[in-house]
């Protein structure tokens, strides 16, 4: 284990994914979402396949015994990507990412319902506080607080898309947890990109736009960044535990603030900053609590093993 290397890769993946989102936001004003999703996922296959071939793991990326499970993950994940990209067309980059932080809170709820995981009072309390933070972030778009300002209908729609996209992301996370019981990481990512690309082609009859040469290059860059980000985040877990790396997911907000300011001239509202800090704080608490419970379970197992006859 090399925790510092793992953390570095995780932070770098957050930067790469935020750059990808900035590219999507640049293109979203002129191109339909289906076209954005196609380029994002199809060209992400290039770095992914190169990486798998370099690892000698390419054959395992297409070997699976659970096609229905991959299809369900692809359907949920693609829906979340569509909603997230649609939100970027209406909202500032940092607002979209901040609202997306609701996803880990939703994972706790879905894990309790679908996976029958035991969730104790500490985590339920954290989830409840976290959703208060989400409401604060959404309040300007719902005109529910003194932070509210004159906003277009599109901005409110964008906030709804972002929240619904976070829910789909949480659902995809639950399905990935199920798949990891029998499937390799390479196969999970490979089939998601294939399915998302194929599903996005179904939107061609609804009107795609022929991109200019410069936009084609940006489309390809968005896809390649998405693939590289996936590789970096996968590699980061090779060198450090999930509980160590998870808090660094929130560095996406730092990158989003910087890129939003430099590229689009956007600055976050007080509501987004306040709510984002609350949601991030509760997310970090949930991560810490999971780590403590894991340590307690490990200690209990070690104690049981040391007993006579254990």
Q: Which two tokens stand for residue 42?
A: 């199809």
The number of distinct structural domains making up the chain is 1
pLDDT for position 309: 53
Residue 4's CB is within 10 A of a number of other CB atoms, namely: 9
pLDDT for position 22: 93
Does the CA dihedral 259-260-265-267 come out positive or negative?
A: negative
Q: Which two tokens stand for residue 258?
A: 């910087």
Helix axes 213-239, 45-55, angle to 10 degrees: 40
Taking a C-beta distance cutoff of 8 angstroms, is the pair 147, 269 a contact?
yes
Does the CA dihedral 250-252-256-258 come out positive or negative?
A: positive
C-alpha 247/C-alpha 80 separation (Å) is 22
Does the CA dihedral 140-143-146-149 come out positive or negative?
A: positive
Alpha helices in 91-184 (DSSP H): 93-100, 103-114, 121-142, 153-179
Q: What is the SS3 assignment for 20-44?
A: HHHHHHHHHCCCCHHHHHHHHHHCC
Beta-carbon contacts of residue 188 (< 8 Å; ≥ 6 apart) = 70, 73, 176, 179, 180
C-alpha 280/C-alpha 310 separation (Å) is 41
The helix, strand and coil proportions of the chain, stated in percent and rounded to the nearest 5, come to 80, 0, 20
Taking a C-beta distance cutoff of 8 angstroms, is the pair 76, 172 a contact?
yes
pLDDT for position 299: 67
Mean pLDDT by 10 residues, the chain (310 residues): 82 92 92 95 93 82 86 93 92 87 84 81 82 83 54 76 92 87 85 93 92 94 93 83 71 84 80 82 74 65 57
pTM (two decimals) = 0.82
10 Å CB burial of residue 57 (0-12, 13-18, 19+) is middle
How many Å from the N-terminal Cα to the C-terminal Cα in the chain? 29
Beta-carbon contacts of residue 91 (< 8 Å; ≥ 6 apart) = 99, 155, 158, 159, 162
Q: What distances in angstroms separate CA 51 from CA 17, 56, 64, one per listed residue? A: 18, 9, 19
Q: Identify the domain containing residue 161 by its residue range.
A: 3-306
| Size of the chain, expressed as the number of residues it contains | 310
Q: Which two tokens stand for residue 65?
A: 């015994």
pLDDT for position 145: 47
Helix axes 33-42, 67-90, angle to 10 degrees: 130
pLDDT for position 240: 77
C-alpha 207/C-alpha 37 separation (Å) is 14
């Amino acid at each position: 284990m090399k925790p510092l290397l793992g953390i570095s890769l995780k932070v770098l993946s957050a930067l790469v994914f935020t750059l990808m989102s900035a590219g999507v936001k640049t293109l979203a004003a002129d191109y339909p979402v289906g076209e954005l999703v196609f380029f994002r996922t199809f060209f992400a296959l290039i770095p992914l396949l190169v990486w798998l071939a370099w690892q000698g793991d390419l054959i395992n990326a297409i070997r699976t015994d659970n096609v229905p499970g991959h299809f369900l993950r692809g359907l949920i994940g693609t829906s979340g990507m569509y909603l997230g990209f649609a939100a970027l067309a209406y909202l500032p980059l940092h607002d979209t990412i901040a609202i997306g932080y609701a996803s880990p809170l939703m994972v706790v709820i879905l894990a309790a319902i679908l996976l029958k995981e035991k969730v104790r009072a500490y985590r339920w309390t954290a989830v409840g506080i976290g959703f208060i933070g989400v409401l604060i972030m959404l309040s300007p778009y719902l005109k529910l607080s003194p932070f509210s300002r004159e906003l277009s209908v599109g901005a409110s729609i964008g906030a709804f898309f972002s929240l619904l996209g976070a829910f789909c992301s949480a659902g995809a996370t639950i399905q990935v947890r199920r798949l990891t019981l029998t499937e390799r990481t390479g196969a999970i990512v490979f089939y998601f990109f294939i399915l998302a690309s194929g599903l996005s082609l179904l939107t061609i009859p609804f009107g795609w736009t022929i991109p200019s040469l410069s936009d084609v290059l940006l489309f390809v860059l968005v896809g390649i960044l998405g693939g590289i980000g996936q590789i970096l985040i996968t590699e980061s877990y090779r060198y450090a535990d999930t509980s160590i790396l998870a808090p660094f997911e929130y560095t996406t907000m730092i990158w989003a603030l910087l890129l939003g300011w430099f590229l689009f001239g956007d600055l976050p509202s007080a509501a987004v900053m306040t709510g984002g800090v609350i949601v991030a704080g509760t997310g970090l608490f949930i991560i810490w609590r999971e780590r403590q419970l894991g340590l307690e379970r490990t200690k209990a197992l070690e104690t049981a093993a040391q007993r006579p006859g254990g």
